[in-house]
Structures are given as structure tokens and as C-alpha cells.
Chain A
Amino acid sequence: MFEIVTMWQKKRDVLNHDVLGIEYLNGLRAFIERLRRPDPNAFRIAEFIDEDFPMWEECQKEAEWLLNNFEKEMSPQVFLEYQPLSRCDDGTQEWLGGLIHQLWLTRYNPDDSVETCRKALHKADETYREIIAGIPESTIHVVPSLVMLLDLFETFTKACANFSSELSKLPREVLLA
């Protein structure tokens, strides 16, 4: 019905679908599979830990941005920036914008869904930090230490998937009614 696609929607699609969904989680699952093998490829394991695993830091920052900006970017108040509602005079823009934002807050209470996402993100990030603390500084002969962390890697994978699922539950559209 609307052709508005906000920056928030675009960023959420990129993070949830492209980065977390396709790249990161698949990479993580493949890494765990590899680590479970009796004679894992140490080079591939070290490469993942050095290059791919830390990508979480970027995902985490982007996720924080999404959660911090959800209310501002996905409020129907944005409709006033587009025609035909942008034709409202300045006085109307001011009170009507505030009003439809407040009504939306009352109807949807987005804080609850954002808080659920935030908890899921926190859980994933906490596990990530725990893993980082357990990885030896040098990744040479690192495999045995990483095998010890297998359970944590699995917990982290589940936590990332859970965060991704919670993020996808936030509305896909700017909801007006």
C-alpha cells in the first residue's frame, strides 16, 4: 500500500537477511561442524577465528543502531514527510506529527518488542565476549582450545539465531492503524 521504505527497513534487511542470516550464521555453523571433525583443518579454523568470527562486533553495532532508532524511524510520523501529507502547514505538522507518534506508541507499545530484541542481543554478545576471553592470543595450535569451547560456540549460534528471529518480528511496515 505504501512505497515508503525507510532507512531502518533497509538496514534491518541487510543485517538480518544478508549479514547475519546468510554470511555469519552459516559461517558459524560450518565452523562448528569443522571443529567437531576428528582431524579438523587447522588453517581453516584459524582463518575463521581471525577473520570471520570478529564480524560479530560490526553486527552488534548495527543491531544497536537498529534497536536505538526503531521508534524514530518506524513511527508513522514519517508519513508527514511525504506527499500528500507533507502539504500540511507548519503548525499542523508540529502537533499532528507528535500526536500520531504518541497514538502509535499507545497502540503498539514498541518498547516491549525492542526490549525483547535487546535482551536477545545482549545474550549473544555476552556469549561472544566469553568465547573471545577463552581463545588463546596466538591462533597457532589453537584447535584443542577451541574444541573446549564448542558448547559456547553452539550457545552463541543459538543466541545469534534467536536475536535474528526476534529482530524479524519487529514490524516490516510503518504501521498507521
Chain B
Amino acid sequence: MTGFKFYLSDEDHPTMRDDLAVLLRSLGGQQEEEDPTQAQIIIVHGNSDQLEETLHEHGIYIEYTTAEGLSCQPNLRGMKKSYKISFSLLVKRLKRLTTPTSIHDIVQVITKPEKPVTYSASIVVLCQGYLAVHAATSGYASIIENSQPPDTAFKEALKLMGWSEKARDLVKNVDIHIVQDPSWWKSVLQFGTYNGFSLNVLKEEWDFMTSDVFPDELPTFVAALLNDNMITDHNIVARVYCLLAAKLQSTFS
């Protein structure tokens, strides 16, 4: 069932309250200005009067805080269907919904555990590990002392990630076969599981970061993992790293 009535209360932060009202109305909600007992969703700021007593039998109660980063905490003060969440996260999650929205959709979207580190970032970390072990195994102490390796992508990746002798010392005893084994990557990425990794997920993350065309190297690399091929081509890993790292960098700059 879609459509809902909501009641908002936040005397201290009228702008936040009004922004939230606009967002909820854009999701098909109808604002109840006077009587909270008429609303199926009551949303209040933590400093406002607590209105849970007035909650509708089939309604939900959301209390937000201006503190950053509070993920959704259910059963506020022991009450069922009540949630506490940071304002920024609440807005971020609600923006993922499309019209028409039901109360059920709202509960789902705010309570869904978030994967805090994206797959793109995770692949970047794993690539750093792989490339470092490969460089150490191949004897590249530093890109400065040695004009090798000749492979441009690999050299560029080492430079971009901050390769140094100190880094080499940390991985010199790691067996290269560990990082070449697709299971090393797949244990983190978990293809095919709920909330797990897939090429589509990677493409979604890419599109979120940039309007550039999704590069061919990424499907090639994902296919190699899916097919359980040993990852022996360090240049492919280097290119994947450079592509994703550049986009992550520009997302933050």
C-alpha cells in the first residue's frame, strides 16, 4: 500500500524539518500539520517533545539527531517500530526511494545495513596488495632506483599508490601465489551472495563516480575472477587499479 501521512516536529532546526517535509512530499507523503495521531509516520528531532504515545497502531516513529554517522538504531526506548538515525543518513537513504513509496519501503531503506566501503574501494585495496607483492617478488625496490619495470601501466600504478622500499619490506615474504589465486579476491567480493559483488554493482558504483564510459578493463578483470583464472597478468591489475583509483581520487577532490 502506497501513500502515507507524516507528522514532523523540530522547533530547533526549521530548515532541516522543512527539507525533510519537501522530500517526504516528493515521495507521495501527505503532511499532517496539526494532529500527530492522524499520521502513520512521526519524525521528530531528538530534542523535540517525544510523541511516541501518539503513534498510530500501524505507524512508525523516527527520531533523528544532527550528529554525523549514526546508523539506524531500532527499538528506541524499547518501543517497536521506532528508529533513531542521523539526519544526514536519513535524508541520504530517503533519497534512494522513488514514488510511490510505502511505509514498508521507508522502513526497509532506513534499516538496511550499509556496506560502508564500496566494492570499487575494496578492489583498489586488493589491487594495492597484489601489485605490491608482485613488485616485491620481482625485485622492484623502488621505482626511482630502478628504471624497470618497462610495463607502463604497472609503473604508473606503483607510482600512484606510493610504492617505496618500506612498503616492499612489509610484503617481501608474502607468497605471490596467494594474491594470484582468484579465491583471495573472491573471499572479499563474494560474488552471487545477497548484497555481494557483481559486474552490475561495479558499473553502478562507476556511474556514481563519473560520467565516463565504463572501461573494458573492468569487465575483463571481473570475468577472469568469475572464471577462476589465476590472476597472473599484473598489467591488467595495474590498469584496473589506475582506473578506479583515479575516479576515487576525483570523487574526493
Seen from chain A, the residues whose Cβ lies within 8 Å of a Cβ on chain B are 1-5, 9-10, 13, 76, 79-80, 82-85, 87-89, 92, 95-96, 98-100, 102-107, 171, 173, 175-177
Contact = CB atoms under 8 A, between A and B. Distances in A.
A99 B132 contact: yes
Contacts of A84: 115, 117, 119, 122, 188-190, 197
Contact of A104 (B67, B160, B162): B162
B160 A177 contact: yes
A100 B125 contact: yes
A87 B190 contact: yes
A84 B114 CA distance: 11
A92 B184 contact: yes
B30 to A, nearest CB: 30
Contacts of A83: 115-117
Contact of A99 (B89, B114, B129, B246): B129
B167 A1 contact: no
A3 B116 contact: yes
Interface in B203-219: 208-209
Given A103-B167, A177-B244, 20 more contacts: A3-B114, A10-B69, A13-B68, A76-B125, A80-B125, A82-B117, A84-B190, A85-B125, A87-B187, A87-B188, A89-B187, A99-B128, A99-B171, A100-B128, A103-B161, A103-B164, A106-B167, A171-B252, A176-B125, A176-B248
B124 interface: yes
Interface of B: 67-69, 71, 89, 114-122, 124-125, 128-129, 132, 160-164, 166-167, 170-171, 174, 178, 184, 187-190, 197, 208-209, 244-246, 248-249, 251-252
A13 B69 CA distance: 12
A1 B116 contact: no
Contacts of B252: 1, 171, 173, 175
A83 B189 CA distance: 9
Given A1-B118, A2-B121, A85-B125, A106 B187 contact: no
Given A84-B122, A173-B252, A1 B162 contact: no
Contact of A102 (B122, B125, B166, B208): B166
Q: 8 closest Cβ contacts across the A-B interface? A: A5-B69, A106-B162, A177-B245, A107-B162, A103-B162, A82-B116, A177-B248, A96-B129
Given A96-B125, A175-B252, A177-B124, A107 B118 contact: no
A82 B162 CA distance: 23
A154 B208 CA distance: 47
Give the dominant DSSP class at B's interface.
helix
A177 B249 contact: yes
Nearest to A88: B188
Given A84-B122, A177-B124, A2 B116 contact: yes
A1 B163 contact: no
B249 A10 contact: no
A49 B114 CA distance: 47
Contacts of A103: 128, 132, 161-164, 167
27 contacts: A1-B252, A2-B116, A3-B69, A4-B116, A5-B69, A9-B69, A84-B117, A95-B129, A96-B129, A99-B132, A99-B167, A100-B125, A100-B128, A102-B162, A102-B164, A102-B166, A102-B167, A102-B170, A103-B128, A103-B162, A106-B162, A106-B167, A171-B252, A175-B252, A176-B124, A177-B124, A177-B160
